[in-house]
């Protein structure tokens, strides 16, 4: 591995033999100057299996002119691989201390938000309260601070979660393979890490401090988790930080390449858009309107028909109800992005990470899905 500068890897970071970053970058360089017509998009759309260039075609603005055609193909793919099923989950934030200073995030180190870290008793109270809503899959989240949220602390939270939930995901700071083995042994099933931006220049700008500066260590996270034995991994980019076509393309290629190398893995794609939050810098973000965002989701569904696609409560009720018909297969419900608010038993309650758009309860989401002809799924996994 050629380490060019100290921020490629910090001293505690595991270096693995991976060329994923180079493949993602090279793939984009091979297509980025391609001129794409609507006829080119239609030709790509007619194929049953898409090349990288076909995927790039589907993301181009010309696709907005034939969005209904993309929608028809995406809906057929969604139905073929997932039927009308929509999986439900809920995030549970157990700490919001962070060592990074991401310019767009409410948890960042420089923010003046109220910080909190739940005790194990408080974590159990929060999990009881969440389980009482009917949710059977939990996503455990922390700020990115190993000092305040150690791997052992997160592992204990996973052990507690096993009492109340059938599926456990973790969305925490990137870790080494041995750390992921601890989390897997504690009961975690999935690891999700957002790259935030796949453009190195944009990434460096938005992440000026902390271990998150290491772009390469972050992009190798899914591989380390899979080498540790995780069932599946999640990928994501935060739309609004950079050109959405570049971000969506590199996101899709990253997921595809990892799937090729680890065919046993369940692959999940998250599609978040930037949302207002207290404590973030006031910045001019790239606008990704609803129509363009919908096109991106359709293109990813067609390119990666086997992958789960998640839409969070950053999106509103109407958008998510439409999206699950054409591409999205997983949505959150009963969401709270703050710390310790569910049970009302925590001594310290921490502020939220961002403002949500869809505050529906689990029951409300289930009822809405049934009304639009979709089948809500609380779990599709049985622990033996």
Q: How many residues does the chain have?
A: 384
Phi, psi of 235 (to 5 degrees): -120, 150
Alpha helices, DSSP H only, in 315-361?
A: 317-326
What digits encode the pLDDT tens for the residues 242-269? 999 999 999 999 999 999 999 999 999 9
Q: How far apart are CA 278 and CA 237, in angstroms?
A: 21
Neighbour count for residue 284 (Cβ, 10 Å): 6
Cβ contacts of 6 within 8 Å, gap of 6 or more: none
**Beta-carbon-side half-sphere exposure of residue 209 (alpha carbons within 13 Å):** 12
**What's the mean per-residue pLDDT of the chain?**
92
Task: Look up residue 65 and give its DSSP letter.
Answer: G
Cβ contacts of 131 within 8 Å, gap of 6 or more: 164, 165
Confidence bin at 348 (pLDDT 50/70/90): low
Identify the pLDDT of residue 206: 94
Contact 276, 231 (CB under 8 A): no
Cα–Cα distance list, 380 to 88, 136, 184, 301, 377 (Å): 10, 10, 19, 20, 7
Identify the pLDDT of residue 300: 98
Identify the pLDDT of residue 108: 79
Identify the pLDDT of residue 352: 53
Identify the pLDDT of residue 282: 77
Neighbour count for residue 65 (Cβ, 10 Å): 10
Residues of the chain with pLDDT > 70, as a percent, come to 94
Structure tokens at 13: 């970071």
Q: Is the pLDDT of residue 5 over 60?
A: no
Phi, psi of 330 (to 5 degrees): -150, 135
Segment among 154-168, 211-225, 278-292 with least mean pLDDT? 278-292
Confidence bin at 3 (pLDDT 50/70/90): very low
Q: Is the pLDDT of residue 214 over 90?
A: yes
What is the secondary structure of 107-124 as a DSSP string? TSTT--PPP-B--HHHHH
Phi, psi of 370 (to 5 degrees): -65, -40
Alpha helices, DSSP H only, in the chain?
A: 20-31, 38-45, 52-59, 67-82, 120-131, 151-161, 177-185, 200-206, 215-219, 221-227, 244-261, 290-303, 317-326, 362-371
Cα–Cα distance list, 357 to 108, 114, 198, 275, 330 (Å): 21, 22, 25, 9, 16
Structure tokens at 228: 């540790």
* Residue scoring higher pLDDT (106 or 222): 222
Contact 198, 246 (CB under 8 A): yes
* Residue scoring higher pLDDT (281 or 44): 44
The dihedral through the CA atoms of 72, 78, 83, 89 has a sign that is negative
Q: How far apart are CA 373 and CA 173, in angstroms?
A: 37
Identify the pLDDT of residue 1: 42
Q: Is the pLDDT of residue 6 over 60?
A: no
| The model's pTM | 0.94
Q: What are 309's strand-pairing partners?
A: 269
Contact 381, 308 (CB under 8 A): no
Phi, psi of 192 (to 5 degrees): -120, 130
What digits encode the pLDDT tens for the residues 34-79? 999 999 999 999 998 999 999 999 999 999 999 999 999 999 999 9
Cα dihedral 318, 322, 324, 325, rounded to 10, equals 150
Q: Is the pLDDT of residue 112 over 80?
A: no
Q: Average pLDDT for residues 349-373, to the nearest whole number?
A: 82
Alpha-carbon radius of gyration of the chain: 20
Identify the pLDDT of residue 148: 95
Q: Average pLDDT for residues 151-168, to the nearest whole number?
A: 98
What digits encode the pLDDT tens for the residues 120-158? 999 999 999 999 999 999 999 999 999 999 999 999 999
């Amino acid at each position: 591995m050629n380490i060019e500068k100290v921020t490629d890897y910090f001293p505690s970071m595991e270096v693995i033999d991976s060329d994923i970053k180079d493949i993602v970058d090279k793939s984009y360089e091979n297509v980025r100057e391609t001129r794409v017509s609507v006829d080119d998009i239609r030709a790509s759309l007619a194929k049953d299996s898409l090349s990288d260039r076909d995927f790039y075609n589907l993301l181009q603005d010309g696709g907005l002119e034939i969005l209904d055609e993309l929608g028809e193909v995406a809906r057929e793919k969604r139905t073929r691989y997932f039927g009308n099923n929509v999986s439900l989950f809920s995030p549970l934030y157990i700490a919001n201390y962070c060592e990074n200073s991401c310019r767009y995030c409410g948890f960042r180190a420089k923010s003046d938000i109220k910080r909190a870290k739940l005790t194990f008793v408080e974590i159990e109270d929060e999990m009881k309260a969440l389980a009482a809503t009917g949710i059977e899959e939990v996503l455990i989240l922390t700020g990115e601070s190993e000092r305040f949220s150690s791997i052992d602390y997160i592992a204990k939270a996973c052990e507690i979660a096993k009492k109340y939930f059938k599926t456990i995901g973790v969305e925490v700071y990137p870790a080494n393979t041995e750390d992921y083995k601890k989390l897997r042994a504690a009961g975690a099933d999935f690891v999700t890490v957002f790259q935030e931006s796949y453009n190195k220049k944009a990434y460096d700008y938005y992440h000026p401090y902390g271990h998150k500066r290491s772009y390469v260590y972050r992009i190798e996270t899914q591989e380390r988790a899979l080498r540790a034995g995780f069932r599946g991994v999640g990928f994501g980019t935060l739309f609004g930080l950079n050109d959405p076509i570049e971000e969506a393309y590199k996101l899709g290629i990253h997921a595809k390449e990892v799937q090729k190398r680890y065919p046993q893995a369940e692959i999940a794609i998250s599609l978040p858009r930037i949302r207002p939050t207290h404590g973030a810098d006031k910045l001019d973000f790239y606008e990704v309107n609803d129509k363009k965002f919908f096109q991106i989701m359709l293109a990813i569904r067609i390119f990666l028909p086997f992958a789960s696609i998640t839409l969070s409560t950053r999106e509103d009720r109407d958008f998510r109800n439409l999206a699950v018909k054409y591409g999205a297969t997983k949505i959150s419900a009963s969401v709270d992005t703050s710390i310790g608010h569910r049970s009302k038993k925590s001594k310290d309650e921490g502020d939220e990470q961002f403002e949500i758009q869809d505050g529906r309860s689990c029951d409300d989401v289930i009822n809405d899905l049934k009304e639009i002809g979709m089948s809500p799924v609380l779990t599709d996994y049985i622990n033996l």
